[in-house]
Amino acid sequence: EEQLVESGGGLIQPGGSLRLSCVVSGFTVSKNYMNWVRQAPGKGLEWVSILYSGGSTYYADSVRGRFTISRDNSKNTVFLQMNSLRAEDTAVYYCARVPGSPFYYGLDVWGQGTTVTVS
Amino acid sequence: QSVLTQPPSVSGAPGQRVIISCTGTSANIGADCDVHWYKQLPGTAPKLLIYGTRNRPSGVPDRFSGSKSGTSASLAITGLQAEDEADYYCQSCDSSQSGHWVFGGGTKLNVV
């Protein structure tokens, strides 16, 4: 079974840092396109970042320069390093997979989410 | 404010057909970007309903269908059921920024 399990969320003061982890089972991280998507309390979904299978990374304007997506192939895990956190970064952060061409296939497998509160 | 515009809510009675719209621009839906649709129940992760504008993943009933015309896309749900009550989101690419995706603001479907 394909599964994503996020962890690393918590309460952090403005200006602080957190590293989120997404442990993957059932498929290989390095052969897929891995994303982070967040949802602020009572709000809609916001795409945060994508890590291509080839290693390219892209970020939403709201987090570029502060967040870094990466992966550890040996652990089949994706990370989101979040620095200089702001109150507006408060959200549930989901890890999600695109199984192929990023813009043809949608996000077909999602984790349960991890909550980040910046206050 | 979301890049893709969706109505905040739509309603329908059981058995009816409803359509949820997703309006974009020439930089996303109109730029030949595919559209994806997700369903989200309270407190749970989103679930992929439609990918590549009109394709259903395995297990999604054929009551759900997607389409696109110009700078807008639509999700149609026929034979409305109580369990369809949820939030629905559209997603597309942002052709003005390589590798970027955008979401709609979401639509709450009420089955009344």
pLDDT of amino acid B96 = 86
CB contact under 8 A, A107 and B103: no
Mutate to test the interface with B, among A35, A107, A108, A114 (most CBs of B within 10 A): A107
pLDDT of residue A100: 87
Looking at residue B105, its pLDDT comes to: 97
Number of residues that this document lists for chain A = 119
| SS3 label, residue B82 | helix
Other C-beta atoms closer than 10 Å to the C-beta of A35 total 24
- Any B CB within 8 A of A8 CB: no
CA distances from A99 to A51, A107, B7, B37 (A): 12, 8, 29, 16
Q: What percent of chain A has a predicted confidence (pLDDT) above 90?
A: 96
* Contact of A53 with A32, CB cutoff 8 Å: yes
For B7, the token pair is: 């109505």
Determine the residue among B48, B55, B101 to mutate to test chain A binding: the one whose Cβ has the most chain A Cβ atoms within 10 Å. Answer: B101
Q: What is the mean pLDDT of chain A?
A: 97
CB-based contact (8 Å) between A63 and chain B? no
Decide if pLDDT at A101 tops 90. no
pLDDT tens-digit map of A73-93? 999 999 999 999 999 999 999
Cα of A60 to nearest chain B Cα, Å: 7
Q: Please tell me what DSSP assigns to residue A52.
A: -
Count Cβ–Cβ pairs < 8 Å, chain A vs chain B: 71
pLDDT in tens, A26-39: 999 999 999 999 99
Nearest to A106 by CA among A43, A40, A32: A32
Return per-residue pLDDT of chain B as tens, 112 residues: 788 999 999 999 999 999 999 999 988 999 978 999 999 999 999 999 999 999 999 999 999 999 999 999 999 999 999 999 999 999 999 988 888 999 999 999 999 9
Interface test with A, best of B20, B47, B100, B102 (most A CBs within 10 A): B100
CB A97 within 8 A of CB A33: yes
